[in-house]
Structure 1
Amino acid sequence: MQTEDLALLSGLKVLIVDDEAGALDVTKRMLSFYQAQVIVCLSADEGLKQLQAHRLDVIVSDIIMPHIDGYQFIQAVRNFPSEKGRDIPAVALSVLSEGEAQVKAINAGFQKYLCKPVRIAALIETVADVAGINPNNAH
């Protein structure tokens, strides 16, 4: 995967859910730099509402959030009907180290798990991967 292609995520609609405004802004800037269309939400409740309002391609969600955490959020998404977003690929972002948290995230319904702070190349490559984008056309 090559992150030199600044149009790599062009046309993708990505929902980011994170209760920390600073982290939300950094993640949005990274994805926007690669031309993704980004919708941001400061809570899982708002994320669930945005899923009902938009056709999205990828979800990027924090794990540790008040009220509804990332595990509960993705489980709610996976309980939606297909046409409402049940099958949207999702990436978990968390300060929790890999291991038990990663296993729990995958079991809850995420496809990938990244630790914060995340490197831009790792985030872009992971989002492209779960979205099925292959810049080398080597599928």
Structure 2
Amino acid sequence: MTLKILLVEDNEMNRDMLSRRLYRKGYHMILAEDGQQGIELALSVSPDVILMDMNLPIIDGWQATKTIRKHEKPLGKHTPIIAVTSHAMTSDQEKAINAGCDHYEPKPINLDQLIEKIELLHAMYQSKNAEKSCDETQP
């Protein structure tokens, strides 16, 4: 199964480079250039994983992540979100996790590390979501 990855990145060069590299590795890429587009696409196309820049126009990545989580909660859904940002301080990492991100990947991106994290988080949450689905169907 090809994973659908939503990449929310406002820098055209970064968005183009990372999306091409992941596409060549076999991922289906969906692109957004600001937080508002990211929210809309996250809710409409149900990606398997979201890569979220934190410094975004219109709605920043922290708020976009919180909004996505707010919409997912009543559905019992959890899409893995990886913060992809140049903010490398420990406090920035904590802020991303507190906003609802599952992992934090600093720029410049180590592609092998990122792919490992994408696969791990997807597998982890896919099995958790499947367990919830089974629990809900049992009497």
The TM-score by the shorter chain falls in which range? 0.7 to 0.9
Unaligned runs of 5+ in 1: 1-9, 134-139
**Bigger-Rg structure (1/2):** 2
Report the TM-score when normalising by structure 1. 0.82
Q: What is the count of residue pairs matched by the alignment? A: 124
Query: What amino acid is aligned across from residue 24 of structure 2 in structure 1?
Result: F
Q: Shift in Å at residue 82 of structure 1?
A: 4.9
Secondary structure of the 1:97 match is coil
- Residue identity (%): 29
Instruction: State the Cα RMSD in Å.
Output: 1.8
Between 1 and 2, higher relative CO (CA 8 Å, sep ≥ 6) is seen in: 1
Unaligned runs of 5+ in 2: 125-139
Query: Which 4+ stretches in 1 moved above 3 angstroms?
Result: 81-86
Mapping 1:1-139, distance limit 5 Å:
10-82=1-73, 86-132=77-123
Residues in 2 aligned to 1:86 and 1:79: alpha-carbon distance in whole angstroms: 10
Listed one character per residue, the Cα deviations across residues 64-92 of structure 1 (whole Å, up to 9, x for unaligned) are: 11221110010000000458795101100
Residues in 2 aligned to 1:37 and 1:56: alpha-carbon distance in whole angstroms: 9
Secondary structure of the 1:73 match is helix
Q: Which has the higher helix share?
A: 2
Report the TM-score when normalising by structure 2. 0.82
